[in-house]
Amino acid sequence: MSLEAVLVVASALFSVGLYGALTQQVVVMVMMGLELMLNGVILAVAGFWYFLAPEPTGQVLLLVVIAAMTVEMAMGFAVATLLHRSAGTDMVDMATELSG
């Protein structure tokens, strides 16, 4: 496996996530698109670290970022569930209660 292959996979993940985030209207699907985009960026950064400077400090930083993303997605799904229970909707356009 080479750096180019890792970057191609990372860009594919980012592209699919961008398409999903821009075309979907359901909150959960938009969040999944954003998560794919973040995973593509993390994969690219991990590839750069692995192939250009293979030190364990970069891997620890990536694990911290992945843990933070997990917490972020859990909070996002909690907000989506709360929105669905209170308003009975899961569409992005109808989520005006979150504006303040």
pLDDT given at position 97: 64
6 with 47: CB under 8 angstroms? yes
Spatial distance between the Cα atoms of 34 and 77, rounded to a whole number of angstroms? 13
Q: List, in sequence order, every beta strand (DSSP E) within 1-100.
A: none
Q: Which residues of the chain have pLDDT under 70?
A: 93-100
What are the tokens at 46? 């991990």
Beta-carbon contacts of residue 30 (< 8 Å; ≥ 6 apart): 20, 21, 24, 92
pLDDT given at position 44: 92
pLDDT given at position 58: 72
- The 10s digit of each residue's pLDDT in 19-47 is 999 998 888 888 899 999 999 999 998 88
Spatial distance between the Cα atoms of 30 and 48, rounded to a whole number of angstroms? 27
